[in-house]
Structure 1
Amino acid sequence: MALQDNGTEGRPEGTPEPYTTTSTAATAVAIADERGVITGWSEEARSLLGYTAGEAVSRPAADLLASHLPPSALRRLAEHEPWHGAVPARHRDGRTVDIAVRACPCPDRDGRTQWVLTASVPDPPGLPEDKDTLLGELTLSQLPVAVAFYDQDNRAVGANDVIARIMDLPEEQIRGHRLMDFLPSPAYDEFTELQDQVVRTGKPVHVVRHLRAPGESRGRFWSVFLSPLKNHLGQVQGSSVALLDITEQYLARQRLLLVNEAGNRIGSTLDVTRTAQELTDVVVPRLADYASVDLLEFIHRGEEPPDGPPRGPVTMRRTARQADTDALLGIMLRLGSTVAYPASAPTAECLATGRSAVYEVNDSSMARWTAQDPERATRLLRSGAHSVMVVPMRARGVTLGSVFLGRTRHPEAFAQDDVLLAEEITARAAVCIDNARRYTRERITAMTLQRSLLPMTLPCQPAVEAASRYLPAGGRAGVGGDWFDVIPLSGARVALVVGDVVGHGVQASATMGRLRTAVRTLADIDLPPDELLTHLDDVVIRLSCEAAADADIAGDIGATCLYAVYDPVSRRCSLARAGHPPPVVVTPDGEAAFLDLPASPPLGLGGLPFEAREVELPEGSLLALYTDGLVEARGHEADERLGTLRRTLARPAQTLDTLCDDVLATLLPVPPDDDIALLLARTRALGAGQVATWSLPPEPVVVAQARKQATDQLTAWGLDESSFVTELVVSELVTNAIRYGRPPIQLRLIHDGSLICEVSDAGSTSPHLRRARTFDEGGRGLLLVAQFAWHWGTRHAAQGKTIWAEIPLAA
């Protein structure tokens, strides 16, 4: 018989009585694992019971029986001993078929027991006993499994026609020889050793190997069963070798494993280049010996995709590549290289049609392409590829690029199953790349918006020396709503502001831009910090109401803010905060401390007051304003990070830019979870030689005196060429203060890069421009001031107001 039962002579008690068969039908063969689940199913098994391989594989063998096995059979199977007997089976059409079954155990390469099951329909009883030999010979010759028998010296004593065919030798030449005699290749040395092991130990062995038999044109995957042949005393008399071709099943399983691996490995990040590289890493070397991914330029430029697939010549960028040898990798184009494909190139045709294609190197399409591109032809020839595949990469109706795969060491050309596998993997990668493209585009849009809303450079002004840093959030958070600003104010003063809008993305950036504009507008009218935050709170409440009415905007709008105004003349700084971390002040002697400001609620709550505090800062003091992303991080205590910030700011640094970098390097060893804005300002002071102040009585005759004092001061400063404009401005402003204001009246000139003229009085009435009529005697003063001054305006104090004008200095 083709599959022996390891000796049925001396049958243990309880084994079913032997039977004989005379059916000339081919014997059905099936393979079951140690759990009794079918893992292999032959065509003859389908003919016998009607089940296809797809219906039988993965089902318990017991499901195909019409009744339970006898206890004696179950006992022998549990003890991993061979068994044979007649059992009723259930045909696919529902009828019962009596079959003769032989079950032979054989361990696989992992040591688990597999069962080789042979079955046939027994002939009616009463057939002559001399047919046993004939049936054995028929079974051996007609068994679709390659089977051979060997003696104790591992010399062949019999083989069926399948063995003879795959060995490309007649049975007569196989008999009496060992495997090494007609298979001298080192690939078969293992089987000689395994045969010796089986004869020596008496234990069966199962292995799966990829081999090309002498009679086969290509390699196959074989499930090889090596079993000992024992007599009735249990003595090993020889061995048998059975080979089952499992190429299709093996390759199908490997394809499923590769698809599953692709799903797990591709798309681990929202990065286009990383995703493309993961694709090539998956397919090499299991599907191809080398692979490359070329993506269209619009992906890297962050543009919208063109309409329809590209036609004609196409230009792409080499985004990823992989090869199973360094030499082959060195031949391929460098990453980032621009690749131009003519219309006749297989890649261009693939993108135009949207269909994958397989080419042999000597195909006419390849010949036309290489004729137009000698450099590419040289690379292809040097690679040694004999079969190539081009797969278009498309997702959501958009063509993204192509995948090029080549085989050099794989002996087989790409088949249709390989094309389907490559398309499945490419489709998964295409969706991930398209997601990454969309994410990148949204992130670029948000960051462009945010950076356009943040100050490109800090303005030059006399009050402070400033430096700043903005760092967007890392990971999935994206851009956010942090902002900072340095706003020059009248009287050489400066406003410093840092804010943080709740949330991330384009919506947060847009809200940040609106709040920054609102702060600048409120700063222009010289509101104190607490009043400015009150008005800003109203702005946030209004924005929240607008957002609540828009279904496309999720969540409430909230923000925090810190606003400070520093006067370099008085060296006093007024600050107020709305739910924001307190600033750090570092005195010139290096002592750093957090400024104790009144705690106020975040913006957007409404109805709660904001309080300001005024402090005097020595010249050269450092003021550090920041957002909470700098001091809040997962896994770290806030107090610990605040202490680190304070100590870092206290360390000496050559420049403020260097100190900004030191702070970020110390507190942010990894990309931050939230946006970060950092603003450092070192205070300056205007000395007595830069400021001139006069108290004026409320009498009209003092106007001439004020003009004289101003021109004398300009002469002292060396600004005689600006005297005419300064006299005019001083005359008009002092006259208005005397006529419409209330005493006391004060005139102040400030010189630091520009000339500022200020006139203060105790009145609250604000002047305004008006168009004087032809016969009006007044109404032209402020118009002249506006014409000759760069800027002018009014700011109010707790008592009174100040009218100021910035006068251009002559070249």
Structure 2
Amino acid sequence: MKRWGESSFEAQLPPETVLAQMEMAVIVCDRFSNIIYSNEFAHELFGFGGEYVGQSVLSLGIAEEDRDQATELARHVLKGGVWEGTFCNVRADGATVYTRAHAVPLRHPSGAVDGVVIFAREALRSNQRDQERYGLLERIGERLAGSLELATTLRQMADTLVPQFADHCFIDLFSGDRLVRRVSRHAAGWSPPPGTWAEVGEPVSYPPGHFCAKAMERRDAVLVEDLVQHRFSAPTTSSRRLGDDMGITSVIAAPLLARGELLGVMSLALSNLSRRPDPHYDGFDRDLVGAIAGRVALAVDNAMLFETERETALAFQKDLLPGDAPPRLDGLKIAWRYEPARPLESHGHGIQTQVGGDWYDVIPLSAGRVGLVIGDVEGRGARAAAVMGQLRAALRAFAQDDKPPAEILRELDEWTRTMGAAHRPRGGEELARPTLVSCTYFVYDAWSRVLSFANAGHDPPLLISDGQVGELEFDSKGAMLGVRGSGVGGEILFNEESRELKPGATLVLYTDGLIDRRPKDDGEYYTREESRRMLREAVAAVADGDVEAIANAAYEAVPGDVDDDVAIVVIRTSAEELAVEQRTFTAEPIMVSEARRMASDTFASWGVDSEQAELACLLVSEVVTNVVLHAANAPAPRREPAMPQVAGLGSGGDPVLSLDEELWDLGMELGRREPATKEFRLRLRRGADALWVEVFDSDLRLPRIRSAGETDEGGRGLYLVDQLATRWGARPTSDGKAVWFELPLTP
């Protein structure tokens, strides 16, 4: 039934009829930017005829310099966004038309984005010259809005101005007190011969009277409407001759001023390259270029400030991370990569990325063991980099105690929560932002090939073994560091695990920037599983290569720009067994000489220099003597007698003792039984550049250096070790302690 007042024509009016009568172009594209509908006005506006359904939207005559913008439009809208901007289109008859476009997503009833709907109209209805002028200013403003990278800013300006408004574009910026050419762009792909006009990167010096010198001196745009009639001083004779040969007809130079500071000069010129009907600028063009120069200068200033801050943050972060070259370690080959996120531009959103908090480290531990860590501080910017630096320093300090990985993570978690509390705003705990960190800490012993580790919410590394690529399985992923400080509550446990790595096995450690939010060509993003699969396939293809090749393949595995920093550490175990010798002795004084003899024989078999071997044997004697003396002087375990039980009184009134007390008295008469003989174990290790000596015993007390007096007979053993060894220390073990020292091997 018709509604009241509704005519039969209106009730049956199809949507196609309405779209056909609109004085606005309506174009519908699928997800692949192919046209599936266009109304009549679109044909008139863009000047094409025939059937365009099924063809790419680029067939509408979008100018070459705007095609990247069209691609960005499609990606942005296919992700559910809305886009508005200006395009330059070349009609079928060769005329140029600037169109103002508004694009929205085409949604399926389910809510999924199926395509793009574009509404377009002329940017300005006036003569062709005025249309180009206003459209140019609008497009320059749009392109500069989201650019904070200097090279990108300058490139976009040149692409926009040439050839639509100029045949030649030069931008010169001050570097200190020198003017340096940063842009030299020309129409029709032409390039000036060497030795004529200054090339990019070369200094420029304009003589007095030159239009660029006048523009900088007056701090205002200068127009040379007819260069043929104007005599000016060229920088060089060859540049003047080239200008005459090219038929330069008209020039505008404008100073680049930002916040009252002169940054440089921009000059535009017309010549015979484009064969324009009227190759001359006028006063309106001068004012237009002056306005453009003001916008360019502000964008350049912002880009320079951003790059300075970013370079400072990168230098700060680089200083906080290990150096470029990994250390030489026995039984391991190491390669690492750190790549900060590149500034990515997104229409209407500006720069999306900053320096992050990814970190990694390789820490030499006692007796040739190695600590390895990979982690990521949540967030970006200077704060994340500062937290990363503090975390690395704290972990290095904790690692020197040689505690198990799980205990190291517990201490690091406590430190992380304490650091987060220190930054909590006063009077507003609900506004506090906790510091959350994911990391895995590994300890690898190259002589036993045992890898011990504990995880705090980090992705497992890849494991390459026997040519197969998989993941090092974690029994427990663990919670991120700082979670308890985020209000989750509850006790966080970090479980220690261990694996024995095969000879030649390789681990690929990485942060989530390698696999997260990598864009596809259609504007969507790869899932983490897709990224992991591509990473495994890329690593498998070079599994037999060296660690550097694997690191490069891992970084390049997932295509697309990254919007987070990436850290990669590749370690490969040695295929050869490392030299080690050990023996267990009873903790008796006579065994000191036996231990020294064993060390001497071992060093001789290893071909150690006699002087070095003698020094090592001396220190072995001192450490073993210290262990034997403490074992002999250690207090005997306290034995508590059973409490006497009074069973009653004897006939003489004396108490009758219980059986326990009678046995105790019997034991006292026979003498107290001595405890079992204590033992110690001596382990010797040889590396490429050092010897390591370890002495294990069951005494939990850690040794310390004593200050021996002149008349004291002992107390100097550890002092000698401290003075003569490269490093020494003691670490707790599951059943006691280990005292160790390191000595260098001279070639």
Query: Which letter maps to 1:492?
Result: G
Query: Which letter maps to 1:745?
Result: F
Give SS of 1:548's match.
coil
Q: Does 1:276 align with 2:154?
A: yes
Worse overlay, 506-515 or 628-637: 628-637
Q: 1:586/1:407 Cα in 2 relative to 1: closer, same or farther (>3 Å)? A: closer
CA contact (8 A) 1:284 1:290 kept: yes
Q: 1:427/1:698 Cα in 2 relative to 1: closer, same or farther (>3 Å)? A: same
Q: Deviations over 1:632-673 (max 9, x none)?
A: 33533323433443444444322121122222333x212223
Find the counterpart in structure 2 of residue 66 from structure 1. Answer: none
**How far has the Cα of 1:486 moved from its partner?**
1.7
Query: Which letter maps to 2:445?
Result: D
The total of aligned residue pairs comes to 552
Q: 1:598/1:390 Cα in 2 relative to 1: closer, same or farther (>3 Å)? A: same
Worse overlay, 603-612 or 649-658: 649-658
Report the Cα distance in structure 1 between the residues aligned to 2:529 and 2:279, rounded to whole angstroms: 65
Query: Which letter maps to 1:724?
Result: E
Q: 1:640/1:249 Cα in 2 relative to 1: closer, same or farther (>3 Å)? A: closer
CA contact (8 A) 1:328 1:383 kept: no
Give SS of 1:624's match.
strand
Q: 1:798/1:352 Cα in 2 relative to 1: closer, same or farther (>3 Å)? A: farther
- With normalisation by structure 2, the TM-score equals 0.68
Find the counterpart in structure 2 of residue 575 from structure 1. Answer: 453
**How far has the Cα of 1:343 moved from its partner?**
5.8
**How far has the Cα of 1:710 moved from its partner?**
1.2
Report the Cα distance in structure 2 between the residues aligned to 1:531 and 1:774, rounded to whole angstroms: 42
Find the counterpart in structure 2 of residue 762 from structure 1. Answer: 698
**How far has the Cα of 1:416 moved from its partner?**
3.1
Report the Cα distance in structure 1 between the residues aligned to 2:410 and 2:156, rounded to whole angstroms: 53
- With normalisation by structure 1, the TM-score equals 0.63
Give SS of 1:556's match.
coil
Structural mapping, 1:681-696, within 5 Å? 681-684=571-574, 687=577, 690-696=579-585
The structure with the larger Rg is 1
Find the counterpart in structure 2 of residue 789 from structure 1. Answer: 725
**How far has the Cα of 1:542 moved from its partner?**
2.2
**How far has the Cα of 1:357 moved from its partner?**
2.1
**How far has the Cα of 1:424 moved from its partner?**
0.8
**How far has the Cα of 1:361 moved from its partner?**
7.3
**How far has the Cα of 1:716 moved from its partner?**
1.4
Find the counterpart in structure 2 of residue 420 from structure 1. Answer: 287
**How far has the Cα of 1:287 moved from its partner?**
4.1
Q: Does 1:778 align with 2:645?
A: no
- C-alpha RMSD of the superposition: 3.3
Match of 2:514 among 597, 610, 630: 630
Query: Which letter maps to 2:741?
Result: A
Report the Cα distance in structure 2 between the residues aligned to 1:777 and 1:412, rounded to whole angstroms: 103
Give SS of 1:739's match.
helix
Report the Cα distance in structure 1 between the residues aligned to 2:210 and 2:415, rounded to whole angstroms: 60
Q: 1:612/1:391 Cα in 2 relative to 1: closer, same or farther (>3 Å)? A: same
Q: 1:425/1:360 Cα in 2 relative to 1: closer, same or farther (>3 Å)? A: closer
Query: Structure 1: which 5+ runs fail to align?
Result: 1-34, 36-109, 112-246, 299-309
Find the counterpart in structure 2 of residue 680 from structure 1. Answer: 570
CA contact (8 A) 1:387 1:406 kept: yes
Worse overlay, 470-479 or 589-598: 589-598
CA contact (8 A) 1:544 1:557 kept: yes
**How far has the Cα of 1:252 moved from its partner?**
5.2
Q: Does 1:703 align with 2:592?
A: yes
Find the counterpart in structure 2 of residue 516 from structure 1. Answer: 392
Structural mapping, 1:62-81, within 5 Å? none
Report the Cα distance in structure 2 between the residues aligned to 1:347 and 1:637, rounded to whole angstroms: 53
Query: Structure 2: which 5+ runs fail to align?
Result: 1-21, 23-43, 46-124, 345-351, 485-490, 519-524, 635-677
Report the Cα distance in structure 2 between the residues aligned to 1:648 and 1:281, rounded to whole angstroms: 37
Match of 1:747 among 666, 679, 682: 682
Find the counterpart in structure 2 of residue 716 from structure 1. Answer: 605
Find the counterpart in structure 2 of residue 28 from structure 1. Answer: none
CA contact (8 A) 1:347 1:390 kept: yes
Q: Deviations over 1:566-585 (max 9, x none)?
A: 11222211111001112233
CA contact (8 A) 2:367 2:740 kept: yes
Report the Cα distance in structure 1 between the residues aligned to 2:248 and 2:533, rounded to whole angstroms: 63
Report the Cα distance in structure 2 between the residues aligned to 1:731 and 1:808, rounded to whole angstroms: 18
**How far has the Cα of 1:681 moved from its partner?**
1.5
Give SS of 1:724's match.
helix
Report the Cα distance in structure 1 between the residues aligned to 2:161 and 2:572, rounded to whole angstroms: 58
Identity of aligned residues (%): 33
Find the counterpart in structure 1 of residue 335 from structure 2. Answer: 467
Find the counterpart in structure 2 of residue 396 from structure 1. Answer: 259
**How far has the Cα of 1:388 moved from its partner?**
2.3
Query: Which letter maps to 1:575?
Result: F
Q: 1:789/1:414 Cα in 2 relative to 1: closer, same or farther (>3 Å)? A: same
Report the Cα distance in structure 1 between the residues aligned to 2:167 and 2:127, rounded to whole angstroms: 22
Q: Does 1:442 align with 2:378?
A: no
CA contact (8 A) 1:585 1:595 kept: no
Point out which structure has higher relative CO (alpha carbons under 8 A, 6+ apart).
Answer: 2
Find the counterpart in structure 1 of residue 474 from structure 2. Answer: 596
Report the Cα distance in structure 2 between the residues aligned to 1:327 and 1:579, rounded to whole angstroms: 55
**How far has the Cα of 1:480 moved from its partner?**
1.1
**How far has the Cα of 1:437 moved from its partner?**
1.8
Report the Cα distance in structure 1 between the residues aligned to 2:699 and 2:586, rounded to whole angstroms: 14
**How far has the Cα of 1:402 moved from its partner?**
0.8
Q: 1:291/1:809 Cα in 2 relative to 1: closer, same or farther (>3 Å)? A: closer
Find the counterpart in structure 2 of residue 316 from structure 1. Answer: 180
Q: Deviations over 1:349-388 (max 9, x none)?
A: 4334422223467799964x33x63233223333322432
Structural mapping, 1:441-590, within 5 Å? 441-456=308-323, 457-474=325-342, 475=344, 476-549=352-425, 555-588=433-466, 590=468
Report the Cα distance in structure 2 between the residues aligned to 1:284 and 1:431, rounded to whole angstroms: 20
Q: Deviations over 1:75-130 (max 9, x none)?
A: xxxxxxxxxxxxxxxxxxxxxxxxxxxxxxxxxxx89xxxxxxxxxxxxxxxxxxx
Q: 1:326/1:646 Cα in 2 relative to 1: closer, same or farther (>3 Å)? A: closer
Report the Cα distance in structure 2 between the residues aligned to 1:499 and 1:761, rounded to whole angstroms: 35
**How far has the Cα of 1:496 moved from its partner?**
1.5
**How far has the Cα of 1:600 moved from its partner?**
1.0
Q: 1:354/1:563 Cα in 2 relative to 1: closer, same or farther (>3 Å)? A: same
**How far has the Cα of 1:589 moved from its partner?**
5.4
Find the counterpart in structure 1 of residue 204 from structure 2. Answer: 339
Report the Cα distance in structure 2 between the residues aligned to 1:446 and 1:585, rounded to whole angstroms: 33
**How far has the Cα of 1:729 moved from its partner?**
0.8
Report the Cα distance in structure 2 between the residues aligned to 1:554 and 1:679, rounded to whole angstroms: 33
Report the Cα distance in structure 1 between the residues aligned to 2:155 and 2:469, rounded to whole angstroms: 52
Q: Deviations over 1:438-467 (max 9, x none)?
A: 222222222222222222221111132222
Report the Cα distance in structure 2 between the residues aligned to 1:335 and 1:630, rounded to whole angstroms: 35
